[in-house]
Amino acid sequence: MYNSVVRFVFCSTVLAGVLFLTGCAKDINNKEAVKEAVMKRLTTVSGLNMSGMEVEISSVSFQGDKADAQVAFKGKGSAEAMLNMSYKLERKGDEWTVKSSSGGMGGGGSSLPPGHPPAAPGGGNK
């Protein structure tokens, strides 16, 4: 009888620990987490004026600890993208980080959004 009680308490404790640890893992496979990483990257670019732009994650695909995102940059109040960018991201702990980006002009735009750094010829930064 004593062994049954000890075994039950031990198994219950182990199960509770496993559930606690799996419950603490943050689910970051979503557009919001990717947008957070893109915005963090954009704020590190000197001179970038984000106040005149809206950033929309058009699509994102996840492959384990890697993700590919399509991002549209629009002028505030504009329905048409001025710039479309592709971002490659990597999972670092409980967040995504941008590894590289490339892109080009959107629908009718003829110049980069205000404050955007010059686009690198041939595809962007690595």
Encode pLDDT of 88-124 as tens digits.
999 999 999 999 999 876 654 445 555 556 555 444 4
Rounded to whole angstroms, the Cα distance separating 34 from 101 reads 13
**Domains of the chain: residue spans and CATH:** 26-105 (3.10.450.630)
CA angle 122, 77, 103 (to 5 degrees): 10
Rounded to whole angstroms, the Cα distance separating 29 from 7 reads 38
pLDDT at 51: 84
The two three-digit tokens of residue 93, written as one number = 């702990």
75 vs 115: which has the higher pLDDT: 75
| Pairing, β 53-63 against β 81-92 | unpaired
Encode pLDDT of 17-57 as tens digits.
554 554 555 799 999 999 999 999 998 875 677 888 899 99
pTM of the model: 0.63
